[in-house]
Structures are given as structure tokens and as C-alpha cells.
């Protein structure tokens, strides 16, 4: 039995010999270098960056509606094996508005002043229009996916499209920088990569973030097994009290594939969920009870 391992990314991490006391990874130059495509769970965001001019003149951000960093973080990586590249950003709070910009860096350096925009997402609730919060394309999951052709969006909310742009075709040696910004709050997110591209894992200072679980609150804990799976996942829990909980299985495109309600009773228990109908790939499990949330990740073979 393989149990998902718990590792939390703290807001302040050691990065290449320096500890930053404020907004540690909120600028391109101090972004987190990733060694692999394992899932990233960011519990919270600290603030905006020191250099807001790094995101000026974006293709999805006209001068009259500039891209504003409010609560941001940067990730960077280098391609060791080319192929397709996609990812899903799943906010822990469904009402959060996540924007992102993916840049290609110069081939021979990490010079953020010469970065090139390759994907830019500004979709989200329209300021002053509370009804736009109820539209599925305004909040929630966003990212790049393989089965869409859209390469950029304009600011605001469009009710007839989702918050996903098309995946990339990458080449060995290319370097990328990803800016993720939570416009509404300091709430965190899960970042899951997909596609055949591989990241270079021998760069000095790169981090291998192999997180499989995120949780807030302490009234219950949960684990998922077997992981990976071919047909059924088991979710075991321990709870401090009897309480009603909701469960969602979410695909890489942010679509809910399964949901149910159950009771966290008798201090512990196991819930089995059939997933044999799911296609191969990474999936999220979100469990909520009261103000507590736990998000896990599993791979369907």
C-alpha cells in the first residue's frame, strides 16, 4: 500500500543561499527553480513583487487595463526533453481569481528583462459586477491544456469560454518563467504539470517539490491509496469529531468528475471511489468540512 506523502511548501523557503523576509519569490529574478514536474502545493501567497514593471506591456493587458500584481509567485524551469507542456492551477478557494503569464527566457541566460510572453491569462470576474462571480469561466481552475487552441485572453469574464489556454510545444534547452497571481486574496493553490516535456534536474539551486497533499485546519486528516491506481481509490480519514464533509475529484482541466457528501464519523474510516472511467493522468481530490479543506493528488493509470 502506497500512501501519499505529506510535504508543505512554507511561505519562506531557502533559495540559493538566501532567505527573503518579504515577498521571497514574487519577482522573476527570485523565482523558484523547479527540478521536475511533480505537483506543487502553495499554501498561501505573501504579497506582490518588488518589480511590477516586469509585467508591463502584456499582450493580454492593454494599457487601459494593466496587469496588477496583488499576491504573486514566480516559478522557473529549463526543458531537458522537448514535447508538450500543460498545467493546471487549482485555487483552494473556488472564488479566487487566478491570473498567470508564461514567459520564455533567453536561451543563454536567466535575464528577466528579455523575457518573451508565450501565454497570458487575464480572465476573471468583472470589477463591479458581482453576478460574474457565478459564471464558471470567471473563477476557479486555470492553466494550459492540450485540447484547446486559444493562446490568449482579454481582461474580464467571458461566459462562453473557460480559463484555459493551449498547451506548448517545447524544445530542449528552452527556459521558462511562470507568474501566478491571486487577484482576490492571499489564498494558495495546487499546480499540476502535464504533457511529455521534462525539466532539467541538475541545475544548482533548483527545488524538487514532491508534494501530494495540502490541508488547512486540523479537525481531520486524509490519505489516498493506491497511488497510482487503475480502478479504485481509497480515501482514509481520521477526524476529531463527527462532521459532514464533501468530496470532489477534479481533472487536469479543473472539471469536477465526481462529487459526493459523506460523514466523517467514528473518528476514522475509509471511502472507496471508482475512477476506472477516468482517462490517464493526474487528478485532485478536494475534501471540505466546515472551514477545513484538504486537497490530495493521485495518478490514474
Question: pLDDT (tens digit, 9 = 90+) per residue, 9-18?
Answer: 333 333 222 2
- Among 47-56, 92-101, 113-122, which stretch is predicted with the lowest mean pLDDT? 47-56
Average pLDDT over residues 23-32: 82
Q: With 70 as the cut, is the pLDDT of residue 128 above it?
A: no
Most confident of 39-48, 134-143, 154-163: 39-48
Return the CATH fold of 214-300: Immunoglobulin-like (2.60.40)
Average pLDDT over residues 240-260: 86
Bridge partner residues of 273 (DSSP): 233
Instruction: Give the pTM.
Output: 0.76
Enumerate the CATH 2.60.40.2550 domain ranges in the chain, comma separated.
Answer: 214-300
Average pLDDT over residues 88-92: 88
Which CATH code for domain 28-211? 2.60.120.380
Q: With 70 as the cut, is the pLDDT of residue 57 above it?
A: no
Q: What is the 3-state secondary structure (H, E, C) of 208-275?
A: CCCCCEEEECCCEEEEEECCCECCEEEEEEEECCCEEEEEEEECCCCCEEEEEEEEECCCEEEEEEEC
The pLDDT value recorded for residue 155 is 64
The closest alpha carbon to 165, from 59, 47, 62, 54, belongs to: 59
Enumerate the CATH 2.60.120.380 domain ranges in the chain, comma separated.
Answer: 28-211
The closest alpha carbon to 211, from 1, 9, 73, 3, belongs to: 9
Residue 118, C-beta contacts closer than 8 angstroms, at least 6 positions apart: 102, 103, 104, 168, 176
What are the distances in angstroms from CA 43 to CA 32, 116, 267, 288?
Answer: 15, 29, 26, 15
Residue 161, C-beta contacts closer than 8 angstroms, at least 6 positions apart: 123, 137, 150, 153
Neighbour count for residue 13 (Cβ, 10 Å): 13
Three-state DSSP class for residue 203: coil
Instruction: Tell how many helices (H) and how many strands (E) occur in the chain.
Output: 0, 20
The pLDDT value recorded for residue 297 is 87
Q: What's the burial of 5, exposed, middle or buried (CB within 10 Å: 0-12/13-18/19+)?
A: exposed
Q: Is 57 or 224 the better-scoring residue by pLDDT?
A: 224
Residue 6, C-beta contacts closer than 8 angstroms, at least 6 positions apart: 211, 212, 213
Q: What's the burial of 271, exposed, middle or buried (CB within 10 Å: 0-12/13-18/19+)?
A: middle
Q: With 50 as the cut, is the pLDDT of residue 22 above it?
A: no
The pLDDT value recorded for residue 220 is 83
The pLDDT value recorded for residue 10 is 35
Average confidence score pLDDT of the chain: 79
Average pLDDT over residues 51-79: 76
Neighbour count for residue 292 (Cβ, 10 Å): 18
Amino acid at each position: 500500500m502506497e500512501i501519499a506523502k505529506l510535504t508543505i511548501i512554507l511561505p519562506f523557503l531557502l533559495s540559493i543561499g538566501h532567505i527573503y523576509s518579504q515577498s521571497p519569490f514574487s519577482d522573476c529574478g527570485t523565482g523558484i527553480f523547479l527540478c521536475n514536474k511533480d505537483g506543487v502545493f502553495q499554501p498561501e501567497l505573501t504579497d506582490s513583487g518588488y518589480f511590477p514593471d516586469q509585467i508591463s506591456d502584456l499582450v493580454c493587458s492593454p494599457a487601459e487595463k494593466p496587469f496588477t500584481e496583488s499576491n504573486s509567485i514566480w516559478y522557473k524551469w529549463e526543458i531537458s526533453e522537448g514535447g508538450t507542456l500543460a498545467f493546471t492551477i487549482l485555487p483552494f478557494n473556488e472564488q479566487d481569481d487566478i491570473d498567470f503569464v508564461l514567459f520564455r527566457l533567453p536561451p543563454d541566460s536567466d535575464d528577466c528583462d528579455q523575457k518573451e510572453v508565450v501565454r497570458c491569462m487575464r480572465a476573471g470576474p468583472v470589477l463591479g459586477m458581482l453576478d460574474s462571480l457565478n459564471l464558471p469561466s470567471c473563477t476557479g481552475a486555470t492553466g494550459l491544456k492540450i485540447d484547446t487552441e486559444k493562446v490568449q485572453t482579454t481582461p474580464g469574464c467571458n461566459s462562453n469560454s473557460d480559463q484555459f489556454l493551449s498547451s506548448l510545444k517545447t524544445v530542449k534547452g528552452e527556459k521558462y518563467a511562470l507568474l501566478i497571481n491571486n487577484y482576490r486574496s492571499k489564498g494558495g493553490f495546487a499546480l499540476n504539470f502535464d504533457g511529455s516535456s521534462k525539466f532539467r534536474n541538475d541545475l544548482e539551486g533548483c527545488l524538487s517539490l514532491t508534494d501530494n497533499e495540502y490541508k488547512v485546519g486540523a479537525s481531520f486528516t486524509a490519505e489516498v491509496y493506491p497511488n497510482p491506481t487503475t480502478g479504485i481509490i481509497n480515501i482514509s480519514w481520521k477526524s476529531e469529531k463527527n462532521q459532514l464533509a464533501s468530496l470532489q475529484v477534479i481533472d487536469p482541466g479543473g472539471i469536477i468528475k465526481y462529487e459526493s457528501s459523506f460523514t466523517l464519523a467514528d473518528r476514522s474510516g475509509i471511502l472507496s471511489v471508482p475512477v476506472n472511467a477516468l482517462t490517464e493522468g493526474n487528478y485532485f481530490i478536494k475534501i471540505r468540512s466546515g472551514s477545513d479543506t484538504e486537497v490530495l493528488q493521485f495518478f490514474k493509470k
